[in-house]
Structure 1
Amino acid sequence: MSVIASTTRLNSNLRHDYSDQAGRYDQTRGASPSLVKPLLEHLAAAPGRTLWDVGGGTGNYAEAMKAAGWSATVVDVSPDMRSQAAAKGLDVLAGDACALPGADDSVDAVMMVSMLHQVEDWRQALREAARVLRPGGVLAVVGLTAEHLTDVTWAFDLFPSMRDFAASRRPSAEDLMSVLPGCEIHPLWFHDLSDASIAALCAVPESMLDERLRRQTSFFERMERDNPAELAAGLGRLRALLDQGRSPLDDRRTARERWGDVSLLTWRATAGALA
């Protein structure tokens, strides 16, 4: 009942409802080798092989980790997403990222891939992930930071309403370090479109003109719903820029080298670390 109550609470406040996307999500949102490889490298230090993929959706990343030898469980608030993950033979749990359905010190590793911006309280979600990790356990979080919004992710220039919308849910590197002392933040770059997230689309600007690719992101689904005129204008500006032989990445090279297309935060649990 506590899980049901927390799920209901989060559902009422979710920034994006994935029930409509669940059945078609995997058409463009697979597990990117650009993320899987560093995730495997950094999670290898965990004391065992039990892994929770919190906010894991349809289980694409959990499936990749399972293939690499992990005992992976998808923890997600969306029953539609969990259904898709279960159909792949993955273990699933109904769970609120801000109130995980697990005991203290019970999991070897936790990963959160491109989902932290969807929760109501990202600080609490990180604390919950830390709580369920046993000493020596590893947390890996992939996502955009505030620095990406201002310096790297050029889509927010073309679609400015989304920057204001996203700003409160994209912590800075300093914010993340304040919640998880001793964490490390690594820049990652996309070399494929297996997972056509907004960060991956920005790495290949012409891909954003492909409706099939962009429609599976919460970014563009929200744009289509709330700001269709701004969406059309922004895509027009992008098309014109590319037709001129220019790229939105041209002015972002230095920042992109520093921050990557996305960040990977890693943190190692120790007894009483966040007490």
Structure 2
Amino acid sequence: MATSFEYSNQARTYDLTRAASPSVLAPLRAALGDRPGSLVDVGGGTGNYARALADEGWRPVVLDRNAGMLGRAASKQLPVALGDASALPVADGSVDAVVFVSMLHHVPDWQAALAEARRVVRPGGVVAVMAFTREQVDVHWVLGYLPATLAHFAGLHQTRDELLGALPGAVEHPVLYEDVVDGSVAALCRRPELLLDPEVRAQTSLFEWAETHTPDELADGMARLEADLAAGVRPQDADPGRRAALGDASVLAWRRPT
């Protein structure tokens, strides 16, 4: 799968800090419905969400471009496939569901990826996309400490209107993180002290990029965050109304007409 980020460095340690979040699974379940069937988890990495869905009766295949991540998924007794999100190795109308969880911003040709997902689901099947829209990036306040990283990553995220344009008629289910189980930046913004731990940060594409490309800014930003927390400043509470209005992320559910 063509992607803007390479996860080879994280494959061996990813699961140390990242798992399937209940805050994501609830809206994902709502999007998929209560009739489990065959499912392709595109960009599913080490299979955390596929494993959770398999435990609920779904029959997932984890598809990813990174062999190291797929090796971890296979160790969880999950079927895996090496493939490209923009050219799925799946027959037309052959699966009940396709999911993308927190990965579409890594796919340069994301429109082709969503078109492929729509192609492979059966009539009545669902495409469920859990994404951080460009509008929701504003809620991830830690990026205010890292302006160069913000400038790089904001443009990788689709706007809400762009996603709805690619998934006409999709139903939106908001995601509000109440846990840090999946270790994403959006989740870690709920527990800012965890952002000071380099091992936790290292499992996110955003902080790995910053460590490589803007290390001085990262060091300065984390020092300022540590000072703010020590002074009792809780940046995650600065604008709760905006977070409530936008959500931390969204799950969009598109169902193929029967």
TM-score class, shorter-chain normalisation, is over 0.9
From 78, 101, 106, the counterpart of 1:113: 101
Runs of 5+ consecutive residues of structure 1 not aligned to the other structure: 1-6
Q: CA deviation at 1:135?
A: 1.0
Which residue pairs with 2:134 in the alignment? 146
Q: 1:78 aligns with which of 57, 66, 77?
A: 66
Alignment of 1:122-271 (within 5 A): 122-149=110-137, 151-270=138-257
Q: Which residue of 2 aligns with 1:31?
A: 20
Deviations, residues 199-227 of structure 1 (Å, cap 9, x unaligned): 11112222211222211001111111111
Letter of the aligned partner of 2:197 in structure 1?
D
Checking the alignment, whether the CA contact within 8 Å between 1:187 and 1:258 is kept in structure 2 is no
Matched, 1:87 2:75: yes
Distance 1:31 1:247 in 2: 26
Residue 266 of structure 1 aligns to a residue whose secondary structure is: strand
Instruction: Check conservation: 2:180, 2:190, Cα contact below 8 A.
Output: no
| Cα root mean square deviation, aligned | 1.4
Unaligned runs of 5+ in 2: none
Corresponding residue for residue 40 of structure 1: 29
**Distance in 2 of aligned mates of 1:216 and 1:176:** 26
Deviation per CA, 1:51-76: give whole Å up to 9, x if none: 11100001011001111111011010
Q: Give the 3-state SS of the residue equivalent to 1:72 in structure 2.
A: strand
Give, in whole Å, the separation in 2 of the partners of 1:167 and 1:193: 22
1:101 is aligned to: 89
Aligned residue pair count: 258
Letter in 2 for 1:215: A
The answer to whether the 8 Å contact 2:62/2:80 transfers is: yes
- 3-state SS, counterpart of residue 253 of structure 2: strand
CA drift of 1:184 comes to 2.0
- Name the residue aligned to 1:51: 39
> 1:68-101 deviations in whole A, cap 9, x for unaligned?
1110110101111111111111001111011111
Q: CA deviation at 1:45?
A: 5.1
1:15-58 deviations in Å (ceiling 9; x for gaps): 21111110111001111111122212321256x51011100001
SS of the counterpart of 2:19? Answer: coil
Identity %: 47
C-alpha separation in 1, matches of 2:171 and 2:239: 23
Shift of 1:186: 2.3
Contact 2:41/2:100 (8 A) holds in 1? yes
Q: Matched residues in 2 for 1:254 and 1:157: separation?
A: 18
Does the CA contact (< 8 Å) of 2:23 and 2:178 recur in 1?
Answer: yes
Contact 1:173 1:185 in 2 (8 A): no
